[in-house]
Structure 1
Amino acid sequence: MAHPYHHSLSSVRKWGGAVEDYLPIHSWFDASKAITADFRHRALRHHAEGIFMAETIFGSTITLSTGRMIPTRWVGEQHVIEDLGFIPSFADWVRCIRPEPWMGRARRLEGEVGAPHAAAPPATEVA
C-alpha cells in the first residue's frame, strides 16, 4: 500500500508545490488504517463520496506553497485512482459486504421510550 507521503510526492509531480501541501489530504484518506490495517480500510473513504467529503473538510481548493490553487477534488481523485485504479461509488463497496445476521438486528424502542402518538395531550387552559 502506498504511504500518504508517496501519494504526496505524486501530487507534487502532477501539480507542483511541496509534499506538505498535499500531506493532510492524503493522510486523511488513509487515516482509516487506524481502524483496520489492511485494504478494507479503504471502504470508508476511497470512493466518490469520500472525495466529496474531503472537499467539505479541506475546502473546494487548496493553495500550494507556490501560490497556485488546485481543486481538492483532484487530489482525492488522484489518491483513489492510485490505490484502486478507478473511482468506485460507496454502493460498489457495500455490494461487496457479506451480510451477517447481527447487521440487521434492531430493537424496537418505542415501548421503552414512548412513541410520539402515545404522548399525553397538551393541557387545556382554564378560563
Structure 2
Amino acid sequence: MSHCYYHALSSVKRWGGCVEDYRPLHDWFDQSKAIIADPRHRALRHHAEGIFMLEALFGQTITNSDGHIVPVRLIGEQHVLEDLGHIPSFADWARAIRPEAWMLRGNPKGSPGLDPAITKASLKEASHAH
C-alpha cells in the first residue's frame, strides 16, 4: 500500500472503529519516508523488531472508537504484511545491504559474522579507488 490512510482503512475493515483510531500507528511505520522517499525507508521499521517497537511506543492495545480493544502488535503485523507480504527480521534487511568500504573503516579486516567474500570485495574496491 502506498499511503497510511489505506492501511488505516484496512484496519477499520478488520477491527472496526474509524481511520483516525489507526492513523498514528500506521504513520509511525512510514515516518522514515522523511529520510528516504523510496521503498528502502522500510528497512528502518518494517520488520519484527519494528512491530515490537510500535507496541512499546503505543502500548499493547488500543481501544478504537467502537470500544473494541485491538492488540497493537496485530496492527503492526497488518501494516508490514500489506507492504511486504511477510514479516522479515532486521537481519533479513541487513543481509540485503552490501557493505561498502567506508562502513568497514573501523575494522578493515571485517567483523565476525560478516560474509568474508563481501568484506574482501569491498576492501578490494576500496584499494582500487585510491
Q: TM-score w.r.t. structure 2 length?
A: 0.80
* Aligned amino acid, residue 36 of structure 2: T
Instruction: Give the match for residue 39 of structure 1.
Output: 39
Structure 2 regions of 5+ residues with no counterpart? 108-130
Instruction: Give the match for residue 95 of structure 1.
Output: 95
Q: Is it true that 1:2 corresponds to 2:2 in the alignment?
A: yes
Aligned length: 107
Over 3 Å off, 4+ runs: none
Structure 1 regions of 5+ residues with no counterpart? 108-127
* Aligned amino acid, residue 93 of structure 1: W
CA RMSD of aligned residues (A): 1.1
Distance 1:85 1:67 in 2: 29
- Offset of residue 56 of structure 1: 0.3
* Aligned amino acid, residue 25 of structure 1: L
Distance 2:3 2:85 in 1: 16
- Offset of residue 94 of structure 1: 0.2
* Aligned amino acid, residue 58 of structure 1: F
| Structure label with greater radius of gyration | 1
Q: TM-score w.r.t. structure 1 length?
A: 0.82
Distance 1:89 1:15 in 2: 26
* Aligned amino acid, residue 52 of structure 1: F
Instruction: Give the match for residue 75 of structure 1.
Output: 75
Instruction: Give the match for residue 53 of structure 1.
Output: 53
